Chains A and B, each alone.
Chain A
Amino acid sequence: MNKIGLFYSFNSNKTKKIAESISEGFDSDVIESINAETVTEEQFLAFENLILGVPTWFDGELPTYWDEFGPAIEDMNLKGKKIALFGLGNQVDYPENFQDALGIIAQLFESSGAIIVGLTSTKGYTFESSKAVRNNQFLGLAIDFETQATKNKERVKAWIEQLKKEFE
C-alpha cells in the first residue's frame, strides 16, 4: 500500500481524536499526519492515498482551514489520487446541514480529478438533509461525537478495514 497522508487540523478538538484513532489503526510507517492548517500543495501532492478530517461548521460550512486551501485544491491536478474523508457533525442540533462539509469538499476534490473512497451507509443516522449524501451513502465516514459518541469506535474500526481494501 502507498503511504497515506492523514490531513487534519492539529488545533481541532474532536477531529483530532478521531484522526488519532485512525492513525493507530494503520502501521505507523504507512501513515503520516499533516496539519491541515498549514498544509501546502507539495505536501498534498506527495501522497497517492489521502485521508482528510473535515468537520462541518457554522450550519453547513467547511472549517476555515479547508476553505482557505480550497483555491489551491481547485487548481491542483489530483488525477488518480484516492481520497477518503471523515467528517464530524451533529445530527441533532444541525439536522438541516448534517455533515455538509464532507459533500462540499468531496465535490471540490472530484472536480480536480481525485477519486473519493471510503463511502459509508447512512443507516443509523437521523437528519433532514445533507450535502454529504449521494445515492444513500455518505461520501466518507460520518462521526457524530455529540450525539452518537458510543458508536465512534466501531465506526472508525470498520472504516479502517474498508480503507485498507480501497486503498490497495
Chain B
Amino acid sequence: MYNNKLFSIKHTDKEVLRKWLHIMTLGRALDDRAPNYLRQAIGWSYHAPYAGHDGIQLAIGQIFDRNTDHLFPYYRDMLTSLSAGLTAEEIILNGISKATDVAGGGRHMSNHFAKPEWNIHSVSSATGNHTLHAVGVGRGMNRYKHIGVSISSQGESSVSEGYVYEAINGASNEKLPVIFVFQDNGYGISVPKKDQTANRKVVNNFSGFKNLKIFYCNGKDVFDSMNVMTEAKQWVVENQMPALVQANCVRIHSHSNSDKHELYRDEAERGYVADNDPLAKYRRLLTRYNRLSPEELQDIDKQVKDEVKDAHRKALAAPNPDPNSIFDFVSPEPYISTKYPNGTHNQQGEPKKLIEAINETLKAEFRHNPDTFLWGQDIANKDKGGIFNVSKGMQKEFGIERVFNAPIAEDYILGTANGMSRFNKKIRIVAEGAEFADYFWPAMEQFVECTHDYWRSNGKFVPNITVRLASGGYIGGGLYHSQNIEGALATLPGVRIVYPSFADDAAGLLRTSLRSPGFTLFCEPKALYNSVQAITSVPIDYEVPFGKALVRIEGTDLTVITYGNTTHMCIEAANKLKQENGNSIEVIDLRSLIPLDKETIIASIKKTGKALIVHEDKVFAGFGAEIAAIIANEAFEYLDAPVKRVGSTFTPVGFNRILEAAILPNTNKIEVAMIEVLKY
C-alpha cells in the first residue's frame, strides 16, 4: 500500500523528494503572498488559493510532458502550473497582469495560468468548459497517431455542467487519450458538494460509461497523487481510452479573495482542513522517515524566499499592457485572394446550385488540404451528408477519420473542434454546427470561447474553424427551423460572419474561410440550396474575400442594403420598380457582416441619399440596427430620408404558412418600403 509503490517516502530518490519540496514550498509562498498584491493595489484581484490541493497539483504538473502532452489547468491550478514548468516570475506576471504575462499579456483574469507554446492552454473562466477542448486535443492525438495525453483539471462541483458530461461521453465513445482530473475540495464556492450531485464522489456518476477507467487518490498526499497520476497516464497511453481521477482535497482558505468562508464554515471545520495541510504532511513525512533533515528543509525555505523576492522584483519592473494594443488579435489576418481580390468574376464556370457550390468547394478544399476535417450530425451515413445532404459523398471520398458523425451535442461539436485545432495549427475544421441554426444555441458557450481565444491568448492560439449553419425560414419550418441567429452572434468580437445569397459567393466565401486561420460563421440560406434564383456560374477556384460587399444592381435613387434570402427579394422589387416607375435602385449584397464593407455602403449613400436595410432576421435589434446606426453616424450629411428597415416582426416564426408569411419579409413588403423611402 505504501512502500512497494513507484513513489514512496521510504524509497523515492532523495533528489526527487527535494525537488518536489522545492516546487511545493515555492508554490505555497506565492499562494500565500498573492493577497498582498491586492492589498497593495498592485493587482491579482482574483486569486483562488490552492492550499490543500498540493498533492494532486504537484502530480499533474510532474506527469505532464510538454513535448507530448497537453494540459488544461483551471483557475486554482497554480501549483499544477509551477510543477509543469512555469517559473515564479511567470506566475506573478500573470497575477499582476503584465504585458509579458505568458498566459495572455494581462488580458485574461489573474490566476488563469497558461503557457500556450508549451501546450499549457489558456482556459476560460466558464468553469470546466475546457473539458471539451481537452477531448478535442485527444481526437487530434488519435487522428495523427500521436502518443501523449490530454489532461483536463477542474473542481468537483463544475462537473455538474452539462458540457462536462458531453466531454466524458465523447471521450468514452471515441476512445480518446484524455485524463479528467476532479480536484474535490467539497465545495463550489459556498455550496457543499451534496447540493451538486447524489454521489459523494462525483466520479462515480460515470461508472456506467464504457471505455474508461476511474482512479481515486488522496490529493492531499504527494505519493498517492504521484502514483495514481502516473498509473492513470500509463493506462491511458496503453489503452487509448480516457481516465477519470477523483482527487480528495481540502480547501484550506476561502474560495477566492472575494469569498469569506467564515460565513459558511464553522471554526471546527476551518480547523480540521488546516490540520490536513498537504505541505505540512509532506514535511512531517520527510523528517519522520529521515529523508531530509530539518536543516535541509530550512535550506529550501530560504532558497524559496530569495527566489520569490527576485521574481517579485522582476515582475514589478515588467511593462504594463499598452492600451493601444486592444485591437490586436481580435481576428487573425485572413487568406488573401490574388486572383479574385474583389470577389468578382467574369461568369466563367458551370452554372451551379448553391448546394452544389458548397458541396464541391468542400470536396475541392479537402482534396487540396489533407489537414481538413468535417463533423456534425447526420453527416456520414451511406449517401447521406448532413440533414440537407450538403456534404454528400464526403465521407466516401475522405474516409471516416476525416468526415464523421457527431453526437447530438452541439456544444461538443464546437468545443471539440476548438480543442482539436489546438493540437496542430495546420488543422482546418468544418463543423456543421447544428442541423439547423435554431439548434446551435446549446453551443453558445463554446461559441463565445471561439471568439475569445485569439484575443485572450494575446495571439498565441486561434481556433481554425468554419461553422456551417443552415439558416433562415421560408420553408414552413416554424419556430425551430426558421431562425436567423447571425444578428445575435454578431455582438461577439472575434468571429467573422458571412451570409451568401448566390452559389458563386457561397463557394468563394467557403474557400476563403477554409484557407484562413481563425473562426468563421458560414450561414447558409437553406431555402436557396436548390433554388433556381441562386444558381450562378462558379469558377472552380473561386474566392471571395471577407468584407467585400457586392453591388448587385447599380442605381442612383435609393441604396438597399441586404444579404441572404432577402437579396433576391430586393433585386426583384428593384427591378419591378424600375420597370413600373423608372426608379433607379442600388442593391448591395453584403455577403460578409463581419467584417462589414462600410465603404461600399457609405459610397452608395453619398450617391443616392437614401437607405433601406433589409434582412430576414427581426428588425428589432437585428443586424440592420447596427448598419442604420453606422449610416446615421457616418453618412448623416448625405441623407435625404430617414433610414428605413424591413425584416421579420418581433415574434417567433409561426408554423402555419399564413403566420409565416405575416412574419417574414417578402418582395411586396420590401417594395412598399422602397416606395415609401423614395417619396422623400
Contacts and interface: CB of A to CB of B under 8 A. Distances in A.
Interface of A: 11, 13, 57-59, 61, 64, 67-68, 70-72, 74-75, 93-94, 96-97, 107-108, 111
B1 interface: yes
Contacts of A108: 1
Interface residues of B, number: 25
A74 B8 CA distance: 12
A64 B222 CA distance: 12
Contacts of B552: none
A59 B218 CA distance: 10
Contact of A74 (B3, B199, B201): B3
Question: Secondary structure at chain B's binding surface: helix, strand, loop or mixed?
Answer: loop
Nearest to B11: A71
Nearest to B10: A71
Contacts of A107: 1
A68 B3 contact: no
A71 B2 contact: yes
Given A94-B200, A96-B199, A75 B10 contact: yes
B3 A58 contact: no
B284 interface: yes
B327 interface: no
Contact of A71 (B3, B218, B275): B3
A70 B2 contact: yes
A114 to B, nearest CB: 14
A64 B2 contact: no
B247 to A, nearest CB: 11
A71 B223 CA distance: 11
Contacts of B276: 57-58, 64
B288 interface: yes
Contact of A70 (B1, B184, B268, B275): B1
B34 to A, nearest CB: 26
A94 B194 CA distance: 10
A76 to B, nearest CB: 11
B200 A59 contact: yes
7 contacts: A57-B276, A58-B248, A58-B250, A58-B276, A68-B285, A71-B3, A75-B10
B82 interface: no
A61 B285 contact: no
Contacts of A11: 275
Interface in B190-233: 194, 199-201, 204, 218, 220-221
Contacts of B1: 70, 74, 107-108, 111
Interface string B283-324: 011001100000000000000000000000000000000000
Nearest to A40: B288
A71 B9 CA distance: 8
A59 B284 contact: no
B288 A68 contact: yes
Given A59-B200, A64-B281, A68-B285, A74 B248 contact: no
Contacts of B184: 59
Given A70-B1, A71-B3, A71-B289, A61 B281 contact: no
B288 A59 contact: no
Contacts of A64: 220, 275-276, 281
Residue among A57, A107, A111 having the largest count of chain B Cβ atoms under 10 Å: A57
Nearest to A75: B3
Contacts of B194: 93
Contacts of A74: 1-3
Given A68-B288, A71-B285, A71-B289, 14 more contacts: A57-B276, A58-B220, A58-B248, A58-B276, A59-B184, A64-B220, A64-B281, A68-B281, A68-B285, A71-B2, A75-B10, A94-B200, A96-B204, A108-B1
A128 B195 CA distance: 19
Given A68-B285, A74-B2, A59 B250 contact: no
Residue among B1, B3, B220 having the largest count of chain A Cβ atoms under 10 Å: B1
A166 to B, nearest CB: 25
A67 B275 CA distance: 14
A61 B3 contact: no
Nearest to B282: A68
A75 to B, nearest CB: 6
Contacts of B268: 13
Given A61-B218, A67-B221, A68-B284, A97 B3 contact: no
Contacts of A111: 1
Contacts of B220: 58, 64
Top 9 A-B pairs ranked by shortest CB distance? A71-B2, A70-B2, A58-B248, A74-B2, A96-B200, A59-B200, A74-B3, A71-B9, A71-B10
A111 B4 CA distance: 13
Contacts of B199: 96
A58 B248 CA distance: 7
